Chain A
Amino acid sequence: MAAADKIRDGEILLEMKDVHMLFGKVIALAGVNLEIRKGEIHSVIGPNGAGKTVMMNIINGLYRPQQGEIFYKEKKINFLKPYERSKLGLARTFQKVEVFGGMTVLDNIRLGRHIHYKSGIFSGSWYFGKTAREENKHRAFIEEEIIDLLEIEQIRNKPVGMLPYGLQKRVELGRALALEPELLILDEPLAGLNLEEVEDMARFILDINEEKRWQVTCLLVEHDMGVVMDLSHRVFVLNFGNMIIDGTPKEVQNNPEVIKAYLGEDDLYSTRK
């Protein structure tokens, strides 16, 4: 784990400081602190309803916390809207796939690159010249970097709403990657997939994180302990709004409180059936 130590000394990409989030009387987050360093896969685990999705929504700006601060590359981003945060290099996938069902796979991925396109209503209506060149350039990128990587050549012209769930999740990942993010939030990317699809998806996440071309920092919310412990550099354990521990997979597995929270599952590796 020498590589992990090196990452741990690296630059802090995202920082949450004492973040509180309440929905009426429900305390979803009660003072959460999180540091994500460049290059790592940082997982967040915890039981259902622990507040993991709320945490992700706060990071990408869908929710505003009542208290606490969020920094991205040392810049405070509390008041930035989601679309402004995406321009800083933040992308995400959702727990329940949120694709554009009526658009084709290609168009979904093209839309992921929205911030890299330039054309407006006039040049778009005219199309020839500038816009045509731009479309062509990005099409090449999408084909070579994303469609190849995710192995979705066969379905590129299919409307996403018609695809099976597993492929929709893959397209959603492709769309997020198309933004060329620095920090990628993956909210339960493996939920609802079959074994083969889980293996594929885990491999994609590893590729995205490790390949020289991408080197994307990942914030991963996942229930599959086997995958979490294998992939992550660090694991953050959340229990109903409170952090239990934030450490290496080994530290987490040996933590008595974590073991208690996952009581009855003596071996964390066996949670997947």
Chain B
Amino acid sequence: MTTTFLPCGVYHENYIQDHAWWQTKFIKGKMLLLFFLLFILIPLLADTYILSICNQIGYTILGAIGVQLLIGYCGQLTLGHAAFVAVGAYTSTLLILEFPWPAILLNLGLAYPISIFIAGLMAGLWSVLFGLPSARVKGFYLILTSMAAQFIIVDFIITQYVSQIGGRGQAFSLPPGTIKLGPWLIDSDLKVYYLMILLCIICIVGVANIMRSRVGRAWVAIRDNDISAEVMGINVIKYKLLAFFYAGFIGGIAGSFWISNLAAISPEHFPWSWSLWLVGVILIGGVGSIHGTIFGALFMVLVMESLQLMVLPLADIYPKLLMDFLFIKEAAFGLAICMFLIFEPNGLAYRWWQTKNYFNLWPFSY
């Protein structure tokens, strides 16, 4: 899936061009269109409902990138990523609510951006801590240790101790006006949307870049053949932990972003099923592909939303449906993953790649 076929008549004259993301004018044009859509068209036309769905997609993307990095690129199975998202969310919240920020920083609106960064660091470090067993165990056993992250961090530390800070009880409420990014108060779906786009672009660009440089290659090498990787000069344990850090960092950013969309946060926002969900996203989108992460998030959120829209009218006739929707949703999720594993094991990204090459090579697509 790493190969792209260039249209007839396009040649590269130097290695920089050959290593660039957008290799033809046509692709550059398409990217311009995409930016136009994201920054102008959607904000202009979308109502709050659509925007809130977009934000959910963005949150899913941010969460799933870390899972993609660990599972898809580095081959380290994880089923506890929601814990690090939670660490990010709580770090950011606590910093905003409890930290005695100097007045200048508050006035400049830097408290939240700084807290995003620190949330990333914190989540990254916790992720490294729970990644330590990867030095010894692989596969199935690693899944179990990563699940421990969920139970220890969310169910124990956050629920039992962190939630008690300040004596607020179960949930931390985030009063309006607390989340400020520079001069902008993040108080509407549209502003959350812009923040989401910004963070998604930063994280996606960061990951795409690192994957075409030394560290990313080392991760993929460990995934494909860890013994060869070690023999070729890679300190396998160090690079695995770097992957855990990077994935946790982005998970922390995801959590820290999500509080801008919430009025209050509580441990229930980060259930274990969310970790599972994120793994489902990359399975459906395509393992080992950044496009796959995006497609998977789009698919999951959109399908679940349409399912909900379909169920709502029926609920007038069968009121029980509404109560059972959670189960319907989870059953649909399970079904979707099974269907993809059977019929399209390379995920949506592979379909995309095929379609793209079909058009690139047209009319000589052999």
Contact = CB atoms under 8 A, between A and B. Distances in A.
Interface residues of B, number: 39
Contact of B224 (A101, A123, A131): A101
Interface stretch (B190-198, B208-216, B290-298): B208-216
Q: Which range holds the interface residue count of chain A?
A: 35 or more
A83 B224 contact: no
Interface of B: 1-3, 14-16, 18-19, 205-207, 209-210, 212-218, 220-221, 223-225, 227-236, 242, 245-246, 288
B200 to A, nearest CB: 15
Contact of A175 (B209, B220, B232): B232
Contacts of B228: 94, 98-100
Contacts of B288: 102
A175 B217 CA distance: 13
Interface in A91-149: 91-92, 94, 98-104, 107, 110-112, 114-115, 117-121, 123-127, 131-132, 134-136, 139-140, 143
A114 B216 CA distance: 11
Nearest to B205: A125
B230 A157 contact: no
B2 A114 contact: no
B233 A139 contact: no
Given A98-B228, A140-B15, A124 B215 contact: yes
Contacts of A112: 232
- Secondary structure at the B interface, as helix, strand, loop or mixed, is helix
B221 to A, nearest CB: 5
Contacts of B235: 81, 83
A135 B223 contact: no
A11 to B, nearest CB: 23
B232 A111 contact: yes
Given A102-B223, A119-B214, A83 B233 contact: yes
A179 B233 contact: yes
A98 B233 contact: no
Given A94-B228, A117-B214, A134-B213, 8 more contacts: A81-B235, A91-B231, A99-B228, A100-B225, A104-B3, A115-B233, A121-B245, A131-B209
Interface in A141-173: 143, 157-159
Contacts of B215: 119-121, 124
A140 B14 CA distance: 9
Q: Most chain-B Cβ atoms within 10 A of its Cβ — which of A98, A115, A119, A124?
A: A124
